[in-house]
Amino acid sequence: MLSESNARHGRFWPQEDKLMNIFNRILILGAASLALAACSQATKEETSEAANSAAADTAANTEKAGDAIETAGDKAGAAIDEAGDKAAVAASDAKQNTGEALEEAGKDMQKPN
């Protein structure tokens, strides 16, 4: 049996309003889910871009650090070479001075008293 309200609106089932409400809720939830999924994808892409940018920055900074370490190593090597050269000169000078001192001592020993 059709109620007068349902007959006026062309509805054949009395539960049609309930079904429409459920259907509308499903559509709204589906649309919200799609919106969240789209937002989630955009968030994933932004996160990926940020991670790639951070990785590129890290690589650039690592390269700069490597260059700085190499430069410091070169400077340390040059300083060690210079110190070695100075030590060799000092040792040669000391040897020369020692030889001269021994020669003088020998001359002094040969002098008559």
pLDDT at 33: 78
pLDDT at 47: 79
Residue ranges of domains in the chain? 4-110
Which comes out higher in pLDDT, residue 27 or 2?
27
Question: In 1-113, which ranges are continuous DSSP H helix?
Answer: 4-8, 16-110
Q: What is the mean pLDDT of residues 2-25?
A: 64
pLDDT digits (tens, 9 = 90+) for 26-62: 888 888 877 777 777 777 788 788 888 888 888 888 8
Which comes out higher in pLDDT, residue 4 or 53?
53
pLDDT at 2: 47
pLDDT at 1: 45
pLDDT at 7: 53
The DSSP annotation for 28-40 comes to HHHHHHHHHHHHH
Tokens of 75: 């400077």
pLDDT digits (tens, 9 = 90+) for 63-92: 898 899 999 999 999 999 999 999 999 998
